[in-house]
Amino acid sequence: MKLPIRAAVFLSLLAPAVWAAAPLPAVHVYKSPACGCCGKWVDHMKASGFDVITHNTNNVAEHKARLGVPVAMGSCHTAEVGGYLVEGHVPASDVKRLLAEKPRAAGVIGLAVPGMPASSPGMDSPLKTPYEVMLVRSCGTTAVYARH
Ligand SMILES: [Cu+2]
């Protein structure tokens, strides 16, 4: 009987370490203090388990430029998480997938939902309007990452 008990104790000690190995990085959000839908996206990210640090600014464009958001991919707010840019109303599930896949080596610098699609998180229109999440590369090219 000793071995199974030791194994169980060992596993119970191991479990917290496994959990701690991959915590979600904090999300830094840059948004206008007057932006309502930006705040709702912050709520969506928090509800999905992210710590969110909100930076209210009247110069969101400065941060988009710093992070390398292509002009055509622009939305209302921009964010930074785990070294990646997240532009606009990107679903938390896609951000988590990006953080797990770590495509930095393939030249990917982040995700974007250009404009403000009605059905995206934080916009929350009851109408089911399809929209795409775009992957952004350091060279400025984009590709479809997810369809919702
Ligand atoms: Cu918005």
Band the pLDDT of 14: cuts 50, 70, 90: low
In words, the CATH class of domain 25-147 is alpha beta
pTM for the whole thing? 0.85
- Could you give the C-alpha distances from 130 to 65, 146, 147, in angstroms and in order? 28, 11, 7
Distance 40 CA to ligand 1 centre (A): 8
Contact 111, 136 (CB under 8 A): yes
Write out pLDDT tens, residues 62-118: 999 999 999 999 999 999 999 999 999 999 999 999 999 999 999 999 999 999 999
The residues with which 137 forms a beta bridge, in sequence order, are 108
* Lowest-confidence segment of 30-34, 63-67, 126-130 by average pLDDT: 126-130
Secondary structure (3-state) at 33: coil
The pLDDT score that the predictor gives to residue 21 is 46
Distance 144 CA to ligand 1 centre (A): 20
Distance 4 CA to ligand 1 centre (A): 54
pLDDT at 53 over 90: yes
Distance 76 CA to ligand 1 centre (A): 5
Residue ranges per domain, the chain?
25-147
Q: Are strands 78-81 and 52-56 parallel, antiparallel or unpaired?
A: unpaired
